[in-house]
């Protein structure tokens, strides 16, 4: 997944999703307004990003400005330090932006983690295991309708093959 509609940086007028690309709020800057928009204190923001960094590869990059890729900017902004850190851990720009998109969803309250209800629906309706349900939901950006369409097509393909 590529984040095609990734916003401009907050300091360049981007919307609150761009908080995923901001550094810690150490001085007065537009990040404080964006945090206010999503009803997060600076401390909560730091805690969310630090927690996300512990769970993902964005926690790597100790050679970066704030010792973690979680604080790094968008790849459209030139930064040789970030780019070297990505290369050193063999992370593609696509993977970086996918993780940043998930981080943005956490920060803005639009977290699309696979809900247990959606997982259970797919498990029950399609007689698949939980891991398969989680994977198809992840692949579909947690769009339950799309996941069901994909699983219907797979079931149809199986029935045709066994014919």
pLDDT of amino acid 161: 83
| Burial of 161: CB neighbours in 10 Å, binned 0-12, 13-18, 19+ | exposed
Are residues 23 and 53 located together in one domain of the fold? yes
With respect to residue 101, please indicate whether it lies within any of the assigned structural domains. yes
pLDDT of amino acid 114: 46
pLDDT of the chain, 163 residues: tens digit per residue: 578 888 889 988 899 999 999 999 988 889 999 999 888 999 999 999 999 999 999 999 999 999 999 999 999 999 999 999 999 999 999 999 999 998 998 898 755 454 677 788 888 888 998 888 888 887 776 777 788 889 989 988 888 887 6
**pTM score over 0.75:** no
Q: What is the 3-state secondary structure (H, E, C) of the chain?
A: CCCCCCCCCHHHCCCHHHHHHCCCCCCCCCHHHHHHHCCCCHHHHHHHHHHHHHHCHHHCCCCCCCCCHHHCCCCCCCCHHHHHHHHHCCCCHHHHHHHHHHHHHHHHCCCCCCCHHHHHHHHHHHCCCHHHHHHHHHHCCCCHHHHHHHHHHHHHHHHHHCC
With respect to residue 5, please indicate whether it lies within any of the assigned structural domains. no
Asked if 9 and 22 count as a contact pair (C-beta separation under 8 A), the reply is yes
| Burial of 147: CB neighbours in 10 Å, binned 0-12, 13-18, 19+ | buried
pLDDT of amino acid 18: 94
Q: Which of 108, 127, 146 is the last residue of a domain?
A: 108
Are residues 55 and 91 located together in one domain of the fold? yes
Asked if 137 and 122 count as a contact pair (C-beta separation under 8 A), the reply is yes
66 Cβ neighbours under 8 A, 6+ residues apart: 23, 24, 72
pLDDT of amino acid 110: 59
Q: Which two tokens stand for residue 128?
A: 């698949």
With respect to residue 1, please indicate whether it lies within any of the assigned structural domains. no
Q: Which domain holds residue 31?
A: 10-108
Are residues 81 and 123 located together in one domain of the fold? no
With respect to residue 95, please indicate whether it lies within any of the assigned structural domains. yes
- Residue that is written with structure tokens 């851990």 in the block: 89
Domain count of the fold of the chain? 2
pLDDT of amino acid 162: 74
Are residues 157 and 103 located together in one domain of the fold? no
Q: What is the distance between the alpha carbons of residues 68 and 26, in angstroms, rounded to a whole number?
A: 16
pLDDT of amino acid 108: 86
């Amino acid at each position: 997944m590529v984040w095609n509609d990734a916003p401009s940086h907050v300091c360049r007028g981007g919307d609150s999703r761009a908080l995923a690309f901001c550094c810690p709020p150490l001085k007065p800057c537009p990040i404080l307004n964006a945090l206010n928009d999503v009803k997060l204190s600076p401390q909560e923001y730091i805690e969310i990003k630090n927690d996300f960094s512990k769970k993902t590869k964005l926690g790597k990059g100790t050679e970066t400005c704030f010792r973690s890729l979680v604080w790094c900017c968008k790849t459209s902004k030139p930064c040789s330090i970030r780019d070297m850190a990505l290369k050193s851990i063999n992370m593609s720009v696509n993977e970086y932006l996918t993780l940043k998109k998930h981080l943005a969803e956490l920060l803005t309250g639009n977290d699309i983690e696979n809900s247990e209800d959606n997982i259970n629906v797919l498990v029950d309706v399609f007689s698949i295991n939980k891991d398969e349900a989680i994977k198809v939901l992840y692949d579909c950006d947690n769009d339950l309708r799309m996941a069901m369409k994909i699983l219907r097509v797979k079931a149809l393909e199986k029935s045709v093959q066994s014919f």
